[in-house]
Amino acid sequence: MKDSNWKKLVGIGSVSPCLQFEDKLIHQGHITVKSLCKKYKAAFKGVNLTRGPFEELMVSLDQDKVKQWQEAANNAASQRGDALDIYTFSMEKGS
């Protein structure tokens, strides 16, 4: 398994990128490209399915809080390390 993943990783830069033509992704005969194209297509479909509910949720939230969350996410992306702790789920125990 590790060998297969390593071969995929090192082969990523040496193959042609995915090409989108109409509704289909075209790949050029390499397992890495085929795998990435398949994952891209699934992710693209997932984004389209969740866009409506996400927008409804965003409208219902306090916009000041949304701005704070976006700033925290941008900080986590640029700082990395402990700044990524904002994504750690924690729950207080009930008494």
Residues 41, 19 share a domain: yes
User: Phi and psi for 25 in degrees, rounded to 5?
Assistant: -95, 130
What are the pLDDT digits (tens) for 23-81? 555 544 445 567 778 888 999 999 999 999 999 999 999 999 999 999 999 999 999 88
Identify whether the C-beta of residue 38 lies closer than 8 Å to the C-beta of residue 54. no
**Rounded CA separation 49/39 (Å):** 15
Phi/psi at 24 (5° precision): -120, 145
Q: Are residues 21 and 56 in the same domain?
A: yes
**What is the reported pLDDT for 12?**
59
- pTM of the predicted protein model: 0.47
- Same domain? For 77 and 47 the reply is no
State the pLDDT at residue 95. 66
One domain, residues 54 and 75: no
Burial of 33 (0-12, 13-18, 19+ CB in 10 A): buried
